[in-house]
Amino acid sequence: MDAVALPKPEDVGVFYDRFTRLFEILWGDSLHFGYWPPGAAGGGSIEEGQERLTDLMASKVTVGMSDSFLDVGCGTGRASLRLAQAKGCSLTGINVSQQQVEAANQRAARAGLSERVRFRIADAMAMPFSGDAFEGAWAFESLLHMPSLSRAVREIHRVIKPAGRLVISDVVVIRPMSADDEAYYRSTYPVAPMLKQGDYAATLQSAGFTVLEVLDLSDRVAQTLALTLDNIDRCSAQINEAYGPDFIGVLKSAWSQSIKIHLQSLGYAVFVAQKG
Ligand SMILES: C[S@@+](CC[C@H](N)C(=O)[O-])C[C@H]1O[C@@H](n2cnc3c(N)ncnc32)[C@H](O)[C@@H]1O
């Protein structure tokens, strides 16, 4: 039995409405890990690392200029816009956070892309789209919030065309996680129980996907954790202004504990899957 309740999409929306400003202060425009490729010097900012991860994910996507693409859990739209600019495709981003949808649509307007890139409120577990509506989809660190990964990936399978690709980046379990750590993590962030890489791939297969590739990026993204802690100190004035003076102590302690749990038990993987 689950000690901590499964996340409800509406609660996840409220969480992101509340903390999008914090992520913006600490991480910039994207809400995902950064990527430091093998042999890279290892320097640079989180934002540079995030753009590298977006580009790595984009390199796995097959979408043409006349195609429509789906971003599942689109944040404030940074990665969507980068993909739409690179590939020339149309794109729909869905999200359960009203504030993020508004920010993403404003970002699309500033980029002059509102005609072909649109963001809207929709729950990935029950999408308001007909079958085979999109050429492909991606999901950057959003599926960990779904109360049922299996139901979410079946739903994505329904809305993409035969042979369409789904590219996912997500946190996975790579070493045993204690019950206390899992309870702490899941009561701090609105996430479902995390899976091992193999179980994740099996869930995709059960939904009807063929898993083409799995990249273990655990060591390649971990630098994001310490850089975020540095940013908490560096940006303390902005954080205090946005959340009040008592918040930063809670944040530092929660992030330090999260780093410990990540380094002990969690990793990061990219899955490239194809419908059929
Ligand atoms: C860690 S953020 C990643 C955002 C974005 N993909 C990025 O990389 O910048 C997770 C995102 O998933 C969205 N999300 C979570 N549960 C969702 C659901 N059931 N349906 C749609 N979006 C969801 C959140 O609102 C948030 O935008």
Nearest to 49 by CA among 212, 259, 217: 217
Which of 12, 107, 148 has most ligand 1 atoms within 8 Å of its beta carbon, as the pocket-test mutant? 12
What is the 8-class DSSP label of residue 95?
Answer: E
CA 71 to ligand 1: nearest atom: 6
Structure tokens that stand for 215 in this block: 């990249």
Task: Quote the pLDDT of residue 61.
Answer: 97
The string of pLDDT tens digits covering residues 161-196 is 999 999 999 999 999 999 999 999 999 999 999 999
What CA–CA distance (Å, rounded) separates 113 from 106? 10
Q: Is 190 in the pocket of ligand 1 (CB under 6 A)?
A: no
40 has a pLDDT exceeding 80: no
pTM value surpassing 0.75: yes
Q: Is 182 in the pocket of ligand 1 (CB under 6 A)?
A: no
User: At 148, which amino acid appears?
Assistant: S
Q: Is 14 in the pocket of ligand 1 (CB under 6 A)?
A: no
- Mean pLDDT (the chain) is 96
* Residue-level length of the chain: 276
Contacts of 64 (CB under 8 A, 6+ apart): 87, 88, 89, 135
Please tell me the chain's helix, strand, coil percentages from 3-state DSSP, rounded to the nearest 5. Answer: 50, 20, 35
Distance 144 CA to ligand 1 centre (A): 9
User: Please, which pLDDT band fits residue 39 given cuts at 50, 70 and 90?
Assistant: confident
Contacts of 219 (CB under 8 A, 6+ apart): none
Give the mean model confidence (pLDDT) for residues 207-228: 97
Lookup result for tokens 């729950």: 123
Q: Is 221 in the pocket of ligand 1 (CB under 6 A)?
A: no
1 has a pLDDT exceeding 50: no
The string of pLDDT tens digits covering residues 57-111 is 999 999 999 999 999 999 999 999 999 999 999 999 999 999 999 999 999 999 9
3 has a pLDDT exceeding 80: no
Nearest to 113 by CA among 90, 141, 139, 86: 90
Task: Quote the pLDDT of residue 44.
Answer: 87
Distance 28 CA to ligand 1 centre (A): 16
CA 78 to ligand 1: nearest atom: 9
DSSP-based three-state secondary structure for 175: coil
Give the mean model confidence (pLDDT) for residues 237-255: 97
Q: Is 165 in the pocket of ligand 1 (CB under 6 A)?
A: no
